Structures are given as C-alpha cells and as structure tokens.
Amino acid sequence: MRSDIMKQGLDRAPHRSLWKALGITDQELERPLIGVVNSFNEVVPGHVHLKDITSGVKRGICMAGGTPLEFSTVAVCDGIAQGHSGMKYSLASRELIADSIELMASAQPFDGLVMVTACDKVVPGMLMAAARLNIPALIVSGGPMLAGNLHGKKTSLVNIFEAVGAVKAGKMSEEELKEHEESVCPGCGSCAGMFTANSMNCLTEALGMALPGNGTIPAVSAARRRIAKDSGMRVVELVNENIKPSDILSIEAFENALAVDMALGCSTNSVLHLPAVANEAGFSINLDKINEVSERTPNLCRLSPAGEYHVEDLDEAGGISALLAQLAGKNLLKTGVNTVTGRSLGENIKGASVHRSDVIRSIDDPHSSSGGIAVLRGNLAPEGAVVKKSAVASKMYTHRGPARVFNSEEEATEGIANGVIQKGDVVVIRYEGPRGGPGMREMLGPTATLAGMGLDQDVALITDGRFSGATRGASIGHISPEAAARGAIAALQDGDIINIDIDNCRLNVELSDEDLSARLANWTEPEPKINHGYLRRYARMVTSASTGAVFK
C-alpha cells in the first residue's frame, strides 16, 4: 500500500508513535489509510452540514475495512462574495484547494481519498487534485439545497438578486424584497438551480468520478447520507482494486461531461473548470471542442435560471443517470468508459429512465437541437468568449447595439442603477479577467439587476470576467484575450457598435483592424488593482480564461 512508506518497518517506529498519539491502533494502521477531505465551514450554506456527510463517509470507510483520516480545505460562498472585492478570491481559491490537497496527501501518503464538497470552485479544485495525485479517489457532494417557496411559487437565489433590480426600478417594494430574502434559501445545500455548484456536481457523475446520484440527491435527504456511506465503502474497494483517476479521466470521459454539460445547460463556469481538470489529467480541451460537442448535443433541460425547474426536480425526473440514458440512446456518449463504481458508464445507467418528461425532455423532443453553451469568436474575442445560450431569450440571439463601457463591476453597477443603460445597449465590463481583476469576478449583480429592471431581453452584457450560473440573458463572458492582456476589449469606447450573433458563434465590434490596432498602440496597462498577498501571486501566474485560467 502507498501508506506503507510512513508506517512499515523498523525505521518507522517514530512515525507509528505519532499515529498512536492520535489514538490509532496497530490494527487500524494495518488497514488502508483513507484521507477524507472535508470542506466544511460555518460560512457557506452548501458546506455547513458537511460534518454530517463526512461522518457518513468515515463510517463507510470503517465498514469496508479502511481507516479514515479527516483533513480540511477552504470554501468560498460565491453568493456572499458577489458584488464586492471578495469575489476576486473565488476562482483563485480553486488552485489553492488543489494545492492544499496535494500537500496533505503527499506529505502523508494516503492510500486513497474521498473528497467531500458542495460549492463552485471546490468541486473542480478537488477534481484537479485527484487527477494530479492519481491515487484512488472519488467525490462526494453535500447535495443541492431545496428550492424556496414564496406564495406557492418555487424560488432560488437568483430570484432575490433579480428582486433587488426590481426594487431599484420601482417594480417591487422593499417589503416584498424582504419576503424574498426570508424564503429563497430554505436550508443547507448548494443553491437550488443549475448554477455552478450543481453543474459541477452533476458533471462529476458524467466524468465517472462519483457514484450515481451524487449530483442531484438533495442535501437534506436520507439518501444523501446513504450515498456518503456507500462512497466511503467504495473508496476502500478502489484501493484494493488499484483503480486510479487516470483509469477514469480519459479524453472520452471529458467528452461525455461536455455532452452532459450541453444537455443540462450548465453554468458557463464549467468551460473554465473542465479544461482545468483535463489539464491536470494530461489532456487539452480547447474552446472549439466545446462548440463541436454543443453542435451535436441537444439541450434537454431548462433548470433555473433558464427555466422554472430546480435540481430537486431533476432528481425526481431520474437524475443524471436518466439524462445519460437519453444521450446514450442516440449514441452521443462513450458508454464503455470506466467509472468509480468499477463498472462502465453504460453498465451504471442500464435500466435508468426518465420519470418526468417536463424536466428531462425526450431526445426526440429537445428544447433545442444544439447544446446550452456556445463559444463565440470574432475580432472582439479572437481566443473565444462564452455564453449560456439556453438562458438567452431567442430575440437576443442576434443583437447589434452601442457599447456602454465600464472599467470595473462597481462602475457598471452604479451606471445601471443610475439609469444610464437604455434598451439596445451593450454593457461592457472590462479589467475583470483572471489577470486584470485579478480573479475574474462573477457579474451576477449587474445581470440580475438588468433582469429585475426588465431589460434582460433588450440589453446585452459582455465582459472579460465571468458570470454566475444563476445569470440569465445575453451575458457573454470570458472574453479572451482580456483587457489587461491588451485584448480588443481594452480598445472599446462608448458608442462603438457591437455585433452579437450567437447562432453563428460570432462576436465583433464594427471597427477595422487598423482602427483597433491604432487604439491598442496607445494603450498602457493600468496599475494592478491588488498588488499584495495571494492575489498578487495569482495575477502573475494565471493564464487566459480560454485555457481554463490555470497557472503557468
């Protein structure tokens, strides 16, 4: 076993004495030592209950003859971090999470790992660590939050963000806003829509790195506790069978995940995270591959913010297994790939069926014939930009309008609140990319405010930052190269005409190459917004959004 290096033989008597200081017996040391990564904290609703989930994992490990050893990592709540400088640390935490797990699992060579997670950057950070370490490992989510309920209508976090915009537009009272505040987040779990956390947890199933049900079983259910125990038991079997992430995370597995991404209409953040995980596994996923998979994969689900349903409804409909079965029925998946169950993906989904066709459409009756995400290119984004197509009103698939340029999220938020944005405009928010932000903030505040003001079907928003999975509307992010890397977005001026064509995957400004070059020739890089601490190092090391914003 891998752990023998720190516990076997004469020279390891000092090491065994330290294990015994923890109360660990000789019998426990003879068993596989399983690291249990717990991202619990008392800050994030998706993580506040993870002591309970981790307890189930540890019991499962013991039941299967392993010895669980728990350690922690960080987790940021993107919702609480929205709209202020805290959001600069969210994406940046992904690399820190991967590094911290690598450190712990290398300094103390565990035989296997179970990674207990829930929210946005924690899931991909853990997957990156699993691929990097390449020891038997699997992911266990804390599960999605139940939807809220206001006057008989299901709600989630996106509704309260949009309600703020409605109040600013005079369409809602502050008393009604308070009702939303009290009801939209009813308890623990990752926010109830197909936002980034739930997107990534669903994709762990598609990648084969989690047991079936991991993405959709609600946080509060007993089934969530059972899958935690099952995962603990299974990791010991993975160790005994020597099944490692490299046996599972093949290029075919990533193509399967992209297909599920398109069928579900996942968060655009998945376009950052899947390439980053693939990079750790030794593969490259470029943005053209994403459009290629999207072109052949129908969009079968419209969950919040794209529709009225939530992840609890997806679970009732049969979960990711039912969705996978729909795609497999039309040969849109590589079903022979390995998974952490020890069976192939095809064997995992055998017999899975859709129980609610309103939530998971038949593959013969999709919402659209192509996927929920599109990558756009053009003179404004030669390296690519990303939009959640399934959450855009069809009238905004093509749009031509004047730019209203802001150099930060704060400037844009103030401008929107002050009524400077008119129907037909294209809001431009720049210097919010991975390097320029630094940290590539999400823009849920501005997009939700526009939606709450009733402008989401008349105004587009483009940025070198990114968007929350809760964003809807013609919101185009990840523009690459970013402004801080002398991208074309840095040359834009108020009144420049922006041309958006989502169907044909194009994003252009109506300026000649000569005009763009002349403007950029006079461009000087602004002073860093943050020039100390972790973000200073992050800005110096991070690459483009088009590469998954991984480190150099």
3-state secondary structure of 366: coil
Sign of CA dihedral 56, 193, 300, 365: positive
The enclosing H or E element of 382 equals strand 381-387
CB 461 within 8 A of CB 384: no
Structure tokens at 452: 């709450």
Q: Which residues of 35-58 are buried (b: 16+ CB within 10 A; e: fewer)?
A: bbbbbbbeebbbbbbbeebbbbbb
Cα 7 to chain center, whole Å? 38
d(CA 330, CA 188): 37
State yes or no: is 468 an active-site residue.
yes
Residue 282 identity: G
The 10 Å CB-count burial string (b at 16+, else e) for 366-389 is bbbebbbbbbbbbbbbebbbbbbb
- Among 543, 488, 54, CA closest to 272: 543
Catalytic hit among 3, 468, 475, 546: 468
Concatenate the DSSP letters of all residues of 396-434 into one string: GSEEEEEEEEESSHHHHHHHHHTT---TT-EEEE-S-ST
| Helices 409-417 and 444-452, packing angle to 10 deg | 10
Q: CB of 433 within 8 A of CB of 484?
A: yes
Contacts of 490 (CB under 8 A, 6+ apart): 430, 431, 483, 484, 520, 523
To the nearest 10°, report the CA torsion of 237, 241, 242, 246.
Answer: -90
C-alpha–C-alpha distance, residues 481 and 471, integer Å? 22
**Which residues sit opposite 71 in a β-bridge?**
37
- SS3 track for 472-537: CCCEEEEEECCHHHCCHHHHCCCCCEEEEECCCCEEEECCCHHHHHHHHHCCCCCCCCCCCHHHHH
**What is the amino acid identity at position 200?**
M
Q: Which residues are marked as active site?
A: 468
